[in-house]
Amino acid sequence: MDVSSLVPAEFRAMVASFMAPGEPAVEVAHVEDRVIANEVPVRIYRPGGDGPFGCLLFLHGSGWVIMSVDTHDHEARALCNRGNVVVVSVDYRLAPEHKFPAAVDDCWGALEWVVASAAELGIDPGRIAVGGDSAGGNLSAVVSQLAEPKPALAILIYPVCDLSEKRDSYRLFGEGFFLTERNMDWYRANYLPDDEAGRDPRASPLLAADVSGLPRTHLAVAGFDPLRDEGLAYGARLRDAGVDVRVALHEGAIHGFANTVGVGRTSAAAMRDAAEALKTL
* 248 vs 273: CA distance, rounded Å: 9
| Active-site position among 60, 72, 250, 255 | 255
Q: Is 255 a catalytic residue?
A: yes
Contact (Cβ atoms closer than 8 angstroms) between residue 281 and residue 56: no
Q: What is the number of other CB atoms lying within 10 angstroms of the CB of residue 213?
A: 10
Q: What is the dihedral of CA 110, 273, 78, 84, to 10 degrees?
A: -70
Number of residues that this document lists for the chain: 281
Out of 225, 229, 250, 267, the active site residue is: 225
Q: What residue type is assigned to position 141 of the chain?
A: A
The residue from 62, 68, 117, 134 that is catalytic is: 134
- Has 134 been annotated as catalytic? yes
Residues contacting 172, CB < 8 A, separation 6+: none
| C-alpha–C-alpha distance, residues 258 and 270, integer Å | 8
Residue 62 among the catalytic residues: no
Residue partners of 10: CB distance under 8 A and separation at least 6: none
Complete edge-to-edge strand list for the sheet that includes strand 123-133: 30-36, 40-46, 85-90, 53-59, 123-133, 153-157, 216-224, 245-254
Catalytic positions, please?
134, 225, 255
